[in-house]
Amino acid sequence: MITKHDSHYVGGEFVPARSKERVPVVNPATEEPFAEIVDGDAADVDAAVQAAAAALNAWAAVPATERATYLRRLADRYEERADEIAALVTRQNGTPISVSRAMVSQVPLNYRYFASLAEALVEEEPVQASLGDAFVRRAPVGVVGAITPWNGPQPLLAWKIGPALAAGCTTVIKPAPETSLDAFLFAEIATEAGLPAGVVNVVTGGRETGSALVEHPLVRKIAFTGSTVAGKAIAEACGRDLKRVTLELGGKSAAILLEDVDLEAFKPFVATACSPNTGQICRSLTRVLAPRSRYDEVVEAVGAAMSAIPQGDPTDPANIFGPLVSERQRDRVESYLELGRQEGAKVAVGAGRPAEFTQGYYVEPTVFRDVTNDMRIAREEIFGPVLVVIPYENEEEAIAIANDSEYGLGGGVFSPDRDRATDVARRIVTGTIGVNSASFPMEAPFGGVKNSGMGRELGPDSLEPYLELKTIFRSF
133-181 pLDDT per residue, tens: 899 999 999 999 999 999 999 999 999 999 999 999 999 999 999 999 9
What are the domain boundaries of the chain? Answer: 3-249+451-474, 254-441
The mean per-residue pLDDT over the stretch 331-344 comes to 98
Evaluate if residue 129 carries a pLDDT over 90.
no
Pairing of strands 7-10, 13-16: antiparallel
Q: What percent of the chain has pLDDT over 90?
A: 97
Q: Give the closest residue to 116 by CA, choosing from 470, 468, 473, 458.
A: 458
- Beta carbons of 356 and 56 less than 8 angstroms apart: no
Residue 282 annotated in active site: yes
pLDDT at 131: 77
Per DSSP, the three-state class of 318 is coil
Q: What are phi and psi of 83, to 5 degrees?
A: -65, -40
Buried b (16+ CB within 10 A) or exposed e, 103-135: bbeebbebbbbbbebbbebeeeeeeeeeeeeee
Q: What CA–CA distance (Å, rounded) separates 383 from 250? A: 9
Please state the φ and ψ torsions of residue 277, each to the nearest 5 degrees.
55, 45
Which segments of 262-310 are extended strands (E)? 287-291
248 catalytic residue (yes or no): yes
Q: Which of 250, 253, 227 is nearest to 438 (CA)?
A: 253
pLDDT at 475 over 90: no
Residues with Cβ < 8 Å from 73, sequence gap 6 or more? 193, 194
Cα angle value 351/356/361 (rounded, 5°): 60
350 contact partners, CB below 8 Å, separation of at least 6: 306, 307, 363, 364, 365, 366, 367, 385
pLDDT classification of 20: cutoffs 50, 70, 90: very high
Annotated catalytic residue within 178, 215, 238, 248? 248
pLDDT above 80 for 476 = no
Longest dimension (CA), the chain: 81
Burial of 419 (0-12, 13-18, 19+ CB in 10 A): exposed
Q: Is the pLDDT of residue 245 over 80?
A: yes
Q: Which CATH architecture has domain 3-249+451-474?
A: 3-Layer(aba) Sandwich (3.40)
Q: Which of 155, 150, 157 is nearest to 177 (CA)?
A: 150
Please give the Cα distance from 23 to 209 (Å, whole number).
12
Contacts of 239 (CB under 8 A, 6+ apart): none
- Lowest mean pLDDT across 45-49, 340-344, 365-369, 437-441: 437-441
Residue type, 415: S
Q: In b/e form, how buried is each residue of 53-84, taking b as 16+ CB within 10 angstroms?
A: bebbeebbebebeebbbbbbbbbebbbebbee
- Candidates 154, 160, 147; CA nearest to 99 is 154
Partners of 368 in the β-ladder: 347, 388
Q: From the candidates 282, 364, 381, 457, which is the catalytic residue?
A: 282
Name which CATH class applies to 254-441: alpha beta
Q: CA-CA distances (angstroms) from residue 335 to 125, 311, 383, 437?
A: 56, 21, 12, 31
